[in-house]
Amino acid sequence: LGRLLSYQSLYECEDDHGLVVSEASTHHNMLEQLSGNTSNTVENMMTGKVMTYDEIAGNSLKTASKLKACGINVGDHVMLYSPNNENYIASLLGIMAIGAIPCLANPAYTEYELGALCKSSDAKYLISSKVNNQIAQKISAEQNIPLLCTVDDMAEFSADCDPISDLHASHPDDVAVIGYSSGTTGLPKGVQLTHKNLAYERKIAGYEKFSPPRPVQALIMPWYHAFGFTQLGLSVDFHTDIKFLSHFDPAIFLQTIQQCRPTILEVVPPLLLFLAKHPVVSKFDISSLKYCVSGAAPLTKDLIDELTARHPHIISCRQGYGMTETTAAHTAQHLACTKVGSVGTPLPFCTTKIVHPGTEDPVLDGGPGEILMGGPVIMKGYYKNDKANAETLTEDGFVRSGDIGKMDKDGTLYITDRLKELIKVKGYQVAPAELEGVLTTHPGIMDAAVIGVPDERAGEVPKAFVTPAPGANITEEDVKNFIASKMSVEKRLGSVEFLDAIPKLPSGKILRKDLRKMEESRRK
């Protein structure tokens, strides 16, 4: 570790808020937190398996060494396809520690989705988990990508090499990890985040005005997604006892809160809806919860009111706003923020601008415009996608969010609309272009367009407009089943409507605005 430490002192940076960030490589930073710590633990609440921080550090080094022996080189892309698991951290750090790049796939991905992701990412190796190993095996055979192991087997690795000498000292501007986002348009793209991006985000997310201490935390958000990934890093920095779930199971989730008594819960709005409404919640004691933090999708005042009325011990329910492209949270309501409905103020080191959509001209009258975000947390760029990079990143390094918002005189941000194509189902990304691409492979479908429509439980669900092929006899159920057979659960269609033609510009671009208007008038 000493060799890696050399970077730490070189790149220290202080913000107006007095936050000092050292841009050390992520694996070094995290291994330093984990190594030698035998008092804090990570517990898998689905299985009861417990590991100390120090054991995780040990497994990370063993994994690094093993992966190196498997032939992984500096800069290789390794697709990590696993739900939250006690060895996920060791896999992540092990891959990073030898200078390779973990690509974080949604563990619910189907064969179709994982196949597309591996191709577009130039994945050289695959690591899966026992639960989705079958799909990984198929893709491994189809695309000739070695499937190295499952994360469940990591602990079995023996340290037959010299783990320390296998470690790679990364530069802060090297890509540390690749997450996925469809951005403002098109298919999911690889979001390249650097060690520097991650170092800043972890400090920023832990900024004391936003993040109260957390001796213990229940982590339910998936670690492949930027929201869950940041929580994981933050928990390690705070030396938190981590109690995690691999997927949402109402009884285990509530049992975890009852038994472990966390004071803070960081989740997506549908989980808060569950706590606010579901009768089963009354069977458990969740009175330890004081602070709820919501992110990744809009949080309504009604939901906050309902939640705090049912659970008066919750003294604040705040929200943050961020994107995979900004590493994670970029703005957040701080602990004393009373502006309900806002997403708070920019976090330290983060800059937010409101501009006229499609330009970089600032909106000066406090009115709505497109939100642009800048600072050391902005991604290096999408992987091998110059066109999307040119469309998304401005010359001065801001990212175009595709969200519409306004900022009041105190710098508090309100999200008012979404300009981009993205649909958010329970906070997860669903790219209409991906669904449209699949729909039009059906022989009975000539053309298709997908938009998001409001849904109480999920926030939004996809709706497909479909033009049947001439002579085809296709039903709504056929279309829904077709998507369900190919794609993960979040992408399931809520409804289908048949149209004679999809409204389009002469260029072929789908007029989603027209479809949204049509849908709104139907709902009215």
The stretch among 54-62, 70-78, 163-171, 421-429 that binds ligand M24 (CB under 6 A) is 421-429
Binder of ligand M24 out of 24, 135, 332, 483 (CB under 6 A): 332
Binder of ligand M24 out of 151, 218, 297, 304 (CB under 6 A): 297
229-258 residues near ligand M24, rule: CB under 6 A: 230
Q: State how far the Cα of 424 lies from the Cα of 298, in Å rounded to an integer.
A: 9
Binder of ligand M24 out of 53, 210, 244, 274 (CB under 6 A): 210
Query: Contact, 25 vs 64, CB < 8 A?
Result: no
Q: Residue 133: in which H helix or E strand, if any?
A: helix 133-143
C-beta of 181: minimal distance to ligand M24 in Å?
Answer: 4
Q: State how far the Cα of 110 lies from the Cα of 92, in Å rounded to an integer.
A: 22
The stretch among 13-21, 107-115, 290-298, 484-492 that binds ligand M24 (CB under 6 A) is 290-298
The stretch among 46-54, 65-73, 323-331, 388-396 that binds ligand M24 (CB under 6 A) is 323-331
- Which is it for the CA torsion 490, 273, 243, 330, positive or negative? positive
Q: Of 93 and 372, which CB lies nearer to ligand M24 in the complex structure?
A: 372
Q: Of 163 and 295, which CB lies nearer to ligand M24 in the complex structure?
A: 295
Binder of ligand M24 out of 401, 442, 448, 493 (CB under 6 A): 401
Q: Of 145 and 297, which CB lies nearer to ligand M24 in the complex structure?
A: 297
- Residue 415 as a binder of ligand M24 (CB under 6 A): the answer is yes
**CB environment 421-449: b (16+ within 10 A), e (fewer):** bbbbbbbbbbbbbbbbebbeebeebebbb
Q: How many residues bind ligand M24 (CB under 6 A)?
A: 30
- Residue 460 as a binder of ligand M24 (CB under 6 A): the answer is no
Q: Of 321 and 465, which CB lies nearer to ligand M24 in the complex structure?
A: 321
Beta strands 41-44 and 241-244 are: parallel
Query: Contact, 21 vs 375, CB < 8 A?
Result: no
- Residue 324 as a binder of ligand M24 (CB under 6 A): the answer is yes
Give me the residue whose beta carbon is nearest to ligand M24.
320
Binder of ligand M24 out of 42, 149, 307, 329 (CB under 6 A): 329
- Residue 429 as a binder of ligand M24 (CB under 6 A): the answer is yes
C-beta of 333: minimal distance to ligand M24 in Å?
Answer: 8
Beta-ladder partners of 393:
399
Q: Hey, what are 217's tokens?
A: 């935390």
Q: State how far the Cα of 130 lies from the Cα of 143, in Å rounded to an integer.
A: 20
| Residue positions counted in the chain | 524
Q: Of 328 and 451, which CB lies nearer to ligand M24 in the complex structure?
A: 328
Binder of ligand M24 out of 135, 193, 293, 373 (CB under 6 A): 293
- Residue 369 as a binder of ligand M24 (CB under 6 A): the answer is no
Q: Of 167 and 303, which CB lies nearer to ligand M24 in the complex structure?
A: 303
Query: Contact, 434 vs 382, CB < 8 A?
Result: no
The stretch among 320-328, 450-458, 466-474, 508-516 that binds ligand M24 (CB under 6 A) is 320-328
Angle between helices 88-97 and 26-34 (to 10 degrees): 130
- Which is it for the CA torsion 6, 12, 18, 19, positive or negative? negative
Q: Residue 414: in which H helix or E strand, if any?
A: strand 413-418
Binder of ligand M24 out of 81, 224, 227, 274 (CB under 6 A): 227
- Residue 295 as a binder of ligand M24 (CB under 6 A): the answer is yes
Query: Contact, 96 vs 166, CB < 8 A?
Result: no
Binder of ligand M24 out of 320, 348, 375, 381 (CB under 6 A): 320
Query: Contact, 467 vs 499, CB < 8 A?
Result: yes
C-beta of 21: minimal distance to ligand M24 in Å?
Answer: 17
- Residue 322 as a binder of ligand M24 (CB under 6 A): the answer is yes
Q: Hey, what are 459's tokens?
A: 């926030």
Q: Hey, what are 256's tokens?
A: 């975890």
- Residue 430 as a binder of ligand M24 (CB under 6 A): the answer is no
Q: State how far the Cα of 406 lies from the Cα of 244, in Å rounded to an integer.
A: 36
C-beta of 206: minimal distance to ligand M24 in Å?
Answer: 9
Angle between helices 195-205 and 226-237 (to 10 degrees): 70
Q: What are phi and psi of 464, to 5 degrees?
A: -105, 135
Instruction: Mark out the alpha helices in 311-431 (DSSP H runs).
Output: 386-392
Q: State how far the Cα of 44 lies from the Cα of 145, in Å rounded to an integer.
A: 29
Binder of ligand M24 out of 343, 388, 445, 515 (CB under 6 A): 343
- Residue 67 as a binder of ligand M24 (CB under 6 A): the answer is no
User: Which residues contact ligand M24 by CB under 6 A?
Assistant: 181, 205, 210-211, 226-227, 230, 266, 293, 295-298, 319-324, 328-329, 332, 343, 401, 403, 415, 418, 422, 424, 429
